Amino acid sequence: MRSLKKLMERATLYGIVTFFALFSVFPFYWMLIAMFKRDHDLFNPSANPFLFNEPATLEHLRMLLYDTLFLKYLWNTCVVGMSVVVITLIIAVPAAYSLARWSGRWGENLGIGIFLTYLVPPTLLFIPLSRLVGFFGLHESLGALILVYPTFTIPFCTWLLMGFFKSIPKDIEEQAMIDGCSRMGAMVKIIFPLSVSGILTVVVFAFTLSMHEFIYALAFISVSAKKTISIGVPTELVRGDVFRWGPLMAGALIASLPVAVIYTFFLDRFITGFTMGAVKG
Amino acid sequence: MAQVETRGLTKSFSGVKAVDRVDLASREGEFLVLLGPSGCGKTTLLRMIAGLEEPTSGDVLIGGRVVTHLPPRVRNIAMVFQSYALYPHMSVLKNIAFPLQTQGMRKGAVQEKVQWAAGMFGIQHLLHRKPRELSGGERQRVAIARAMVRNPSVFLLDEPLSNLDAKLRTAAREELQQFQRRVGITTIYVTHDQVEAMGLGDRIVVMSDGRVRQIGTPREVYQYPADTFVAAFLGSPPMNLVEREDYLMGFRPESFLPAEACRGEGEAVECFEFVVTWVEDLGSDRLVYGDMGLQSAHRHVISKIPANVNLGIEGGKTYTFAVLKEDLRFFDPKTGLTVNGAPEP
Amino acid sequence: MRQTVEAERPAPHWEDGQTGARQRHFWDSEKRLAVVMIAPAILYIACMVGFPLVLAILYSLSDATTGDPSLHLVGLKNFRDILQDPVFRKSLGNTFIFALVSQTLVIILSQALAMALAKEFRGKWLARFFILLPWTAPIALGTIGWLWMLDSIFSPFDWMLREAGLLGTKNALLGPLSNLYWLGEPALAMTSVILVHIWRIMPLATVILLAGLSSIPQEILEAAEVDGAGFWRRHLRITLPLLRPIISIAFLFGLVFTFTDMTVVYVLTRGGPVHSTQVLSSWAFFKGIEGGDLAQGAATAIFLFPLLAGVAVLILKMARRSEVT
């Protein structure tokens, strides 16, 4: 009697999980198949879309890598990503430390203020920012993105790091100061080594947020060679009204998967940071 | 009120036996304490009785009815957790009302019972507060009120006093005991604190490594321990155990006194040479640490001399100490089991 | 900063006139250090967020275009103009509809998923990876997958419906046409956008809810079980009330992300068919960046602001009230 109930519970559990897992992965599964399907098979409305009705082909992949600027897009994305990570670390790490250790109303309010800027949407700012970008002569260059992306990576990463820093007990720093360090020394020698996982998480998030970004990239860059993956794939693999589905799917999948893997891996760390930062206020 | 029984109750977690073939039978209305160090299986045993854990094998019976695979809510039990588990978003009144509402009781009847339970524990004035506004002692009373409001047949408690500070603990202990005596409900109480166990229990079940070592009244387990584990676990400081010929000889520190202070003499008494290393004056007693004059590995023993014995004892000197022969206990060195034989549980 | 024992070092300092009397270093002043450390962030945000925000407001009150970007103020003319524009009004409505409908559904669905993911089961790591994919993959790229799934000729959904006999034949339930025009028919297009939003935000909401679930002490649920509560009663009377702040946070975050989204609409429909899926963000983009009308673009985007400010205030209130015990 009890085991029947348990069986039903288990069945419901697997049912729910399977349903949502399939729902979530469906488009990617699609991309995987489309990337290797011959055009003839792909563009046949009566053929079973879930199976390879004709043998697989590497043609789309070849085309993507050799006939388009896909690799250039990847390169651009990496350049932008890395630069943004560096800028974010330089600015966000001290800011987060300052906010984490700064008790009192000022500290709290500043922290909240910085977090709130994350909520200001790109679509509100992109018009004035495009003027700013032009003013600095950075139109149609990666520099525009490198200048602008920290507007969302800094608030987000500062808030993330605040949580991590707060979780390190003050006692350890105070001990270091008794042992002869200045405040700064304690920070460098003690706090940073202990926050390596937090800083790593920030690196990953800053990079992935830059990689995901679409709106500013679309607004500031129209020269093909300077595009990042996020806008390059959706805009360049279309000639007029014709979608090059094969390479399009290949590009989308190849660009998505590594990011997704790393991001998933770091999500656990993020969750600890989140529950410490937001829930505890 | 019902009798709780377990038959061959076992629980394994990936091959490790947390509870190993435990046979237990409580008497009606008794306050039974499960005592043991952390990890001995007492909490797991309690949770199996409650229905929160599925046994690997064996049975649980309440009031003669086999309840082994039944969910907690049909066993008519009440439980107080270590953290009290009060519903933080509900007022005290709603907390106490909850178990009645799950039974589908009418609103009017619920109100009556809540008032009755609150009155029994003197918490009527707290009914509209939330748990986070209460002190530790108040939370305990609310937890017990919530437990009792359904008139359960068995009352289970999992270390409910360990979150209270020392001063509160003794007061809460007294309150708990008086309440149980008044209501006469069969109670099973888990603790690792042997003083608490001795103070509260009608009988104590001493456990370690998932097995029951001894079941008996406080006096029985203290004076006639069934094995060396029980002997060493109960009593503060624990029973002295020394090797003597083929046996382990045990005697309690308070039985080991200077020969002049010893109650008996001649044939009734055994004397030993005692080289004192250190004396601690605790006010009510003196603890004297030293080595016994015996050819054996475990020679270091402790004596507990009450304050009203005014003999001077100094470190570094040798004295003659004595034990009443009837206070000596003997254990088999290989099995640890007692050799004189313990009384029937 | 070198680690030195205080007493041994000569004191270059800015505080006292007497050397050696107070051995403090410039960097020992807590206040100063705190301010210096946070200054770059504040400066950057002021220049790159604060200033542009002000500029956006100014643009919305001007008649600037990319041809003539000077700030020639014209008062509320732009706002009057766009409020008369039916496309703007449709965008405004859509923005709310897409956000509210998708997030309501997300909150309900993610509760079930979060509770499932809280348990242990085989293949959990794989399921988790899949379930997180819509969020961890770049937005534009994930949406591209949907472009194919919702294609007017090649959609696999349509194929499945045809195979099941629900589409494409004379008496089929969904009509005689061989395809449903998921992105071509206004109502269906709106549904498709909402669907993709749900797909994308589910992982975020689920993760937030999971974190909340794990913060409810196990003993409270066990006490409820002992008190006689079955699954639904426990869920409705214990779990949900305790989860309320977290659910609100998840809802508000999801709201913000869908409300300000432009990417999904752009990639999926470009705002079509005939502006039926246009939202404030995409319309502002088309008008301001592609169309060159900076003033009207800015004015359109400004409408995002009041709701976001309101949401931000709510998020803060929720965050403060989030202590469980």
pLDDT on residue B221:
94
Distance of CA C156 to the CA centre of its chain: 29
Same-domain pairing of B184 and B245 = no
Chain B window 284-313: which residues touch C at a Cβ cutoff of 8 Å? none
Asked whether residue B263 is assigned to any structural domain, the reply reads: yes
Percent of residues, chain B, with pLDDT higher than 90: 45
Asked whether residue B341 is assigned to any structural domain, the reply reads: no
Cα C285 from Cα C271, distance rounded (Å) = 11
Query: C231: nearest CA in chain A?
Result: A9
For B113-140, the pLDDT digits (tens) are 999 999 888 899 999 999 989 988 899 8
For B226-285, the pLDDT digits (tens) are 999 999 999 889 998 888 888 888 999 999 888 887 777 777 888 888 889 999 999 889
* pLDDT at residue A277 greater than cutoff 50: no
Same-domain pairing of B139 and B10 = yes
CA distance C148 to chain B (A): 48
CA distance A274 to chain B (A): 22
Distance of CA B244 to the CA centre of its chain: 31
Q: Report yes or no: C107 and C251 within 8 Å, Cβ to Cβ.
A: yes
Chain B window 36-55: which residues touch C at a Cβ cutoff of 8 Å? 50-52
* pLDDT at residue B142 greater than cutoff 60: yes
Is A123 in Cβ contact with C285 (below 8 Å)? yes
Could you tell me the two tokens for C66?
Answer: 């990319």
Cα C253 from Cα C106, distance rounded (Å) = 12
Angle, CA of B339, B340 and B343, to the nearest 5°: 115
Which numeric CATH code is attached to C85-320? 1.10.3720.10
Cα C160 from Cα C178, distance rounded (Å) = 11
Residue among C25, C30, C144, C244 with most chain A CBs within 10 A, to mutate: C144
Of B197, B223, B249, which residue sits at a domain end? Answer: B223
Radius of gyration of chain A (CA): 24
Could you tell me the two tokens for C249?
Answer: 């946070």
Average pLDDT over chain B reads 88
> Amino acid identity, residue A186?
A
Contacting residues of B for A1, CB less than 8 Å apart: 69
Is A98 in Cβ contact with C55 (below 8 Å)? no
Query: B54: nearest CA in chain A?
Result: A2
3-state secondary structure of B18: strand
B65 touches chain A (CB under 8 A): no
Contacting residues of A for C293, CB less than 8 Å apart: none
Cα B79 from Cα A20, distance rounded (Å) = 38
> Amino acid identity, residue C295?
A
Query: What number of CA atoms fall less than 13 Å from residue C216's CA on the CB side?
Result: 26
Same-domain pairing of B42 and B131 = yes
CA distance C228 to chain B (A): 4
**C-alpha to C-alpha distances, A200 to A81, A174, A207, A276, B61, nearest whole angstrom:** 14, 25, 11, 17, 55
For B311-332, the pLDDT digits (tens) are 888 888 888 888 888 888 999 8
Same-domain pairing of B318 and B202 = no
Is C229 in Cβ contact with B87 (below 8 Å)? no
More confident residue, C271 or B36: B36
For B181-235, the pLDDT digits (tens) are 988 899 999 999 999 999 999 999 999 999 999 999 999 999 999 999 999 999 8
Write out residues in chain C with pLDDT < 50, as ranges: 1-6, 8-22, 323-325
3-state secondary structure of C194: helix
ipTM score = 0.84
C212 touches chain A (CB under 8 A): yes
Torsion of CA A90, A96, A98, A102, to 10 degrees: 170
Cα B210 from Cα B326, distance rounded (Å) = 32
**pLDDT band for position B157 (cuts 50, 70, 90):** very high
Cα C321 from Cα C325, distance rounded (Å) = 11
Which CATH number covers residue B317? 2.40.50.140
Q: Quick one: which of A13, A167, A271, A280 has its CA closest to C211?
A: A271
* pLDDT at residue A246 greater than cutoff 90: no
Cα A112 from Cα A95, distance rounded (Å) = 13
Domain boundaries, chain C: 85-320
Same-domain pairing of B218 and B245 = no
Domain boundaries, chain A: 2-57, 61-279
Contacting residues of A for B69, CB less than 8 Å apart: 1-2
Asked whether residue B344 is assigned to any structural domain, the reply reads: no
CA distance B182 to chain C (A): 23
Contacting residues of B for C226, CB less than 8 Å apart: 50-52, 72-73, 77-79
Q: Report yes or no: B22 and B205 within 8 Å, Cβ to Cβ.
A: no
Q: Which residues pair with B242 in a beta bridge?
A: B249
**C-alpha to C-alpha distances, B75 to B9, B71, B72, nearest whole angstrom:** 17, 7, 5
Same-domain pairing of B197 and B84 = yes
pLDDT on residue A234:
83
For A263-273, the pLDDT digits (tens) are 888 776 666 65
Query: C279: nearest CA in chain A?
Result: A123
Query: B148: nearest CA in chain C?
Result: C227
* pLDDT at residue A17 greater than cutoff 90: yes
Same-domain pairing of B110 and B171 = yes
Q: Quick one: which of B220, B230, B253, B173 has its CA closest to B35?
A: B230
Residue B222 has phi, psi (to 5 degrees) of -80, -50
Is C134 in Cβ contact with A281 (below 8 Å)? no
User: How many independent structural domains does chain B possess?
Assistant: 2
CA distance A32 to chain C (A): 10
Contacts of C316 (CB under 8 A, 6+ apart): A112
Contacting residues of C for A119, CB less than 8 Å apart: 256, 308, 311-312
**C-alpha to C-alpha distances, A147 to B218, B238, C45, nearest whole angstrom:** 77, 72, 12
> Amino acid identity, residue C229?
A
Residue A71: how many CB atoms within 10 A of its CB? 11
DSSP state, residue C26: G
Q: Report yes or no: B8 and B59 within 8 Å, Cβ to Cβ.
A: yes
pLDDT on residue B334:
87
Structural domain that includes position B111: 4-223
Residue B34: how many CB atoms within 10 A of its CB? 28
Cα B272 from Cα C159, distance rounded (Å) = 97
Place of tokens 């542009």: C52
Q: Domain A61-279 has what CATH class? A: mainly alpha
- Residue A120 has its nearest CB partner, among C49, C136, C288, at C49
CA distance A83 to chain B (A): 47
DSSP state, residue B227: B
Same-domain pairing of B43 and B159 = yes
A2 touches chain B (CB under 8 A): yes
Cα C299 from Cα C92, distance rounded (Å) = 12
pLDDT on residue C24:
56
**pLDDT band for position A274 (cuts 50, 70, 90):** low
Same-domain pairing of B219 and B247 = no
pLDDT on residue C199:
95
3-state secondary structure of B248: strand
The H or E element spanning position A203 is: helix A196-212
Residue among C221, C222, C226 with most chain B CBs within 10 A, to mutate: C226
Query: A129: nearest CA in chain C?
Result: C52
The H or E element spanning position C192 is: helix C186-214
Residue B226 has phi, psi (to 5 degrees) of -80, -25
Of B167, B191, B223, which residue sits at a domain end? Answer: B223
Contacting residues of C for B73, CB less than 8 Å apart: 225-230
Cα C52 from Cα A148, distance rounded (Å) = 11
Q: Quick one: which of A260, A276, A256 has its CA closest to A197?
A: A276
Query: B68: nearest CA in chain A?
Result: A2
Same-domain pairing of B266 and B160 = no
A1 touches chain B (CB under 8 A): yes
Chain B window 252-271: which residues touch A at a Cβ cutoff of 8 Å? none
